[in-house]
Amino acid sequence: MHLQNKWEGKNYTKDEILFASFVNGAISALAFKFFELIKIPGLTSGKGSYKAISKQISTKFIRGIISSISFKTFSKIFTYNLAGTFTGILCSGLMNAINANDLLVDFYNRRPLDYF
């Protein structure tokens, strides 16, 4: 939206940009959680899936009981996170394609919380 201000002559305020970014981020996070619920054998479900490996290594790292990981394990974690992040990118792109940011700015400017 900042680039739209610079290049397209829009006049979004910082608060409008922050609000739209927060909503877009929340929708992207929900999309990632939805992605985790979809059972894709080898990626998100099953023993030895990329999701299971990612959780296992993350837990070991947090507990401090791991000193290094192999490139193959790192690649599986990276692939899992990349697939999950793609869903967020897809949602963000869809929001831009349907001009949802303008709708969010209109909603923000109505300020429904001011009435309470």
Judged against a pLDDT cut of 80, whether residue 40 lies above it is answered with yes
Q: Are 95 and 2 in contact (CB under 8 A)?
A: no
pLDDT, residue 113, reads 62
- Per-residue pLDDT reduced to its tens digit, 63-111: 999 888 999 999 999 999 898 888 888 888 888 888 888 888 888 888 6
pLDDT, residue 71, reads 94
pLDDT, residue 52, reads 92
Q: Are 77 and 51 in contact (CB under 8 A)?
A: no
The reported pTM is 0.68
